[in-house]
Amino acid sequence: MVSVMEDFNFEDAMARLKEIVGLLEKEDISLDKAMDLYKEGCELAKKLREYIYKAKQQVEVYSKELLEDNMDGSVDE
């Protein structure tokens, strides 16, 4: 099966999102910079949600396959 999302690293995206939050919490940031960071953060959050949703779907497929294999008595090694 193909990876959940090609060319997307969950951990890197989370780290960047945390960095953005830290930058937005600073009081000495310009409004324009804050708006750019906020937009980037929203886009990252959307990608992270999609990644988690697709990963959850894959887990459900794998679990269903495992249950079906167990019910018919077959075991793949």
- Global pTM reads 0.73
Position 2 scores a pLDDT of 44
CA distance 74 to 52: 30
Position 1 scores a pLDDT of 39
CA angle 57, 60, 45 (to 5 degrees): 30
- Which sequence spans correspond to the domains of the chain? 10-72
pLDDT in tens, 12-34: 999 999 999 999 999 899 999 99
What the block records as the tokens of 43 is: 């886009």
What CATH number does domain 10-72 carry, 1.10.3470, 1.10.287, 1.10.10, 1.20.1280?
1.10.287
